[in-house]
Amino acid sequence: TSFALKYTVKTLFLGQMLSLFICGTAVTSQSLAKNCNVNTPMLQSFINYCLLFLVYTMTLAFRKDGDSLLTILKRKWWKYILLGLVDVEANYTTVKAYQYTTLTSVQLLDCFGIPVLMALSWFILHARYKLIHFIAVAVCLLGVGTMVGADILAGRKDGEGSNVVIGDVLVLLGASLYAISNVSEEYIVKNLSRVEFLGMVGLFGTIISSLQLAIVEHRDIANIQWNWKVALLFLAFAVCMFGLYSFMPLVIKVTSATSVNLGILTADLYSLFFGIFLFGYKFSVLYLLSFVVIMVGFILYCSTPTRTAEPGSTNLPLAASTGFDNFALKIEENHRETHPGSSLNLPTSDHED
């Protein structure tokens, strides 16, 4: 239907917006490391968490409707400490892996997070997938394989890495931590609120990353040769990372963590395209082919809604949404089954968190 087509196109567009934010963080980080000899991933993350704290944690502190900051902390402080720890370590572990292994290995092994994410969604969010969803994931992973092949044929000099085994383990660990963080994010933004998620991540992310920053990177920070270029790159990284964190919950709320992670597989491709001009990477037609393949898999996944199994007795609050990943698409299907031939006018939300 035209509604399903518009929904898929919208989801596709939103996913690529996230990919561009991720591309921005990758390009600025690589520019800092290669061109400015600055390798401070925790400092970069700390700046982002501070921005989240100033915007969203302060919003929680002063908002009048809904649970206040103190109320949330009294009820769920230990849960958000764990979430903040997972999020901080996911960021740090993934960036750190680049020091040990090759970019090709990072691209390939990072896909490990998708089956982990689907498994967590199955058990925690009660998502139930159809055959087409597994086919779609396989198509997306095929596209990533094509990208890796293009990377090798183009003769990219990634280096062998100082310890490839350690690097590969770090990538797998980072992918798993991201999967846990994304599933937690999907549950919170669909059942509670986007502002609560970002506010709590901003609060505990700032605290945890500041402690880790003081322990791990204090010498690297002291050795930074500050100039306008370094400051501009830090600013660009912070803007892209803050945009990614702020925008991703909005996309997850209307789709799912799995579909979002499939959509952002193109982020590495965008980074490679920028690298052609900035770092002298060689171009390969296979890059374009891999982009098309990933997009086909992503569209296949979004074209069919997943269903949610009825959860058993649980202490967790019930979802306020319809229980479907692609819930807008499913609302239309249910409406047409009940009222055949009628058109759908989706209600608009009275407020948005």
* Count of beta carbons in the 10 Å neighbourhood of residue 227: 9
Question: Which pLDDT tens digit goes with each residue over 38-61?
Answer: 888 889 999 999 999 999 999 999
Which element (helix H / strand E) includes 308?
strand 307-308
Top mean-pLDDT range of 14-18, 65-69, 345-349: 14-18
Question: Which pLDDT tens digit goes with each residue over 11-31?
Answer: 788 888 888 898 888 888 878
End-to-end CA separation in angstroms for the chain: 30
Backbone angles phi, psi at 92, to 5 degrees: -65, -45
Backbone angles phi, psi at 127, to 5 degrees: -70, 140
Question: 291 and 252 in contact (C-beta within 8 Å)?
Answer: no
Q: 350 or 165: which carries more pLDDT confidence? A: 165
The CA angle 43-106-183, to the nearest 5 degrees, is: 75
This prediction's pTM: 0.77
* Count of beta carbons in the 10 Å neighbourhood of residue 307: 14
350 three-state secondary structure: coil
Question: Which pLDDT tens digit goes with each residue over 329-342?
Answer: 444 445 454 455 44
Question: 208 and 88 in contact (C-beta within 8 Å)?
Answer: yes
* Count of beta carbons in the 10 Å neighbourhood of residue 70: 10
71, with CB counted inside 10 A (0-12, 13-18, 19+), is exposed
132's tokens: 């087409």
Taking the C-alpha atoms of residue 209 and residue 200, their distance in angstroms, rounded to an integer, is: 14
Question: 134 and 119 in contact (C-beta within 8 Å)?
Answer: no
Three state DSSP letters for 34-67: HHCCCCCHHHHHHHHHHHHHHHHHHHHHHCCCCC
Question: Which pLDDT tens digit goes with each residue over 208-257?
Answer: 999 999 998 889 999 999 999 999 999 999 999 999 999 999 888 888 88
* Count of beta carbons in the 10 Å neighbourhood of residue 349: 7
Q: What is the pLDDT of residue 110?
A: 65
Task: Identify the band that residue 98 occupies on the pLDDT scale cut at 50, 70 and 90.
Answer: low
List Cα–Cα distances, 120 to 30, 116, 165, 178, in angstroms: 32, 6, 26, 11
